[in-house]
Amino acid sequence: MYIANQDRYQTMPYPRCGKSGIKLPAVSLGLWHNFGGLQSLEKAREMAALAFDLGITHFDLANNYGPPYGSAEETFGQILKKDLLPYRDELIISTKAGWDMWPGPYGDFGSKKYLVASLDQSLKRMGLDYVDIFYHHRPDPETPIEETMDALAHIVRSGKALYVGISNYNAAQSKLAISTLKDMGVHCLIHQFSYSMLRRLPEEDGLIDLLEAEGVGSIAYSPLSQGLLTERYLKGIPEDSRAGGASVFLQRDNITPKLLAKLQALNEIASSRGQSLAQLALAWVLRGGRVTSVLIGASKLEQIRDCRKTVDNLSFTQDELNEIEKIITK
């Protein structure tokens, strides 16, 4: 029988999520990879339990996480049933819909029919009455924004999600979505976007500034750039890595000599701070408190431990920030 670590809240910071009552852990766990039906349930249980023991209270899913689609939610449902259900009121559980999930015209994008049906399926897979956060996973170029936001507002009023958010919306799309929800009497809690040292679009297009002005929280996915900002690639491409395999998200051609030189220079700064490269990269995303939380993935217990240690050193000197900027942009 799983019993959580009594000291789990002693070292993890919990920044407030925008202008809301919710505080998220600075480090959250994503179940995009390594929690699907092709992986070991026991290993998934170990990773989820360790995360919670380290103060990671937020578990992030989506309807099509797996593979196969839906299997990450099914796995998490088993983890809840076997281990975490007694701690449900200490957890933030989020899921999403917006990418393809089932065949036909009603299983993709942003219609009210799709979003409501998808959440019903997600709740059934996880064995839950509600999720804490439900996201629209990507903007829909054809469905009117009013319909998509009405679906999110309906979901909140139905009690099937306590809060709603958006993901992968650019600054202009986000401004419209946030204001449309506000007109419906619902606050957009959070925006989930891809952001790292190597992908800085959310700050460059003004998205982070907009979220701060609107009181909307933020969470960065792929803060380690699919593992590039770890020590795995400092000496080349391991054959058992994503770039060394058949990943559609990170390919061998992405690992150039110029990129390797940047990674090695960043690793030197990390070493001078007493951090791993991954810890440096996560701390950089969290710098100044402009991003509420970073969303990590994991295939090993040690990766979760390493990422949790990020919060032991979140401050930077101006000289460090200047040097990092020089490395990133050269």
Q: What is the CA radius of gyration of the chain?
A: 19
Report the distance separating Cα 7 and Cα 11, nearest Å. Answer: 8
pLDDT in tens, 98-124: 999 999 999 999 999 999 999 999 999
In a domain, residue 223? The reply is yes
Query: pLDDT confidence of 160, banded at 50, 70, 90?
Result: very high
In a domain, residue 96? The reply is yes
The domain in which residue 48 lies consists of 27-227+286-313
Q: What is the rounded average pLDDT of the residues 38-60?
A: 98
pLDDT in tens, 13-44: 999 999 999 999 999 999 999 999 999 999 99
Q: Return the pLDDT at 330.
A: 87
At residue 287's C-alpha, the angle toward residues 303 and 138, to 5°, is 75
In a domain, residue 10? The reply is no
* CATH number of the domain encompassing residue 84: 3.20.20.100
Name all contacts of 155-158 with Cβ < 8 Å and 24+ positions apart. 155/115, 155/116, 155/119, 156/186
pTM of the model as a whole: 0.94
Query: Tokens in use for 128?
Result: 């839950």
Q: What is the rounded average pLDDT of the residues 304-316?
A: 98
In a domain, residue 254? The reply is no
In a domain, residue 244? The reply is no
In a domain, residue 143? The reply is yes
In a domain, residue 15? The reply is no
In a domain, residue 234? The reply is no
For residue 246, pLDDT over 60 is answered with: no
Mean pLDDT of the chain: 95
Q: What is the rounded average pLDDT of the residues 42-67?
A: 98
Q: Return the pLDDT at 241.
A: 55
Q: Return the pLDDT at 254.
A: 75
Q: Return the pLDDT at 251.
A: 59
Report the distance separating Cα 129 and Cα 209, nearest Å. Answer: 35
Count up the domains in the chain and report the number.
Answer: 1
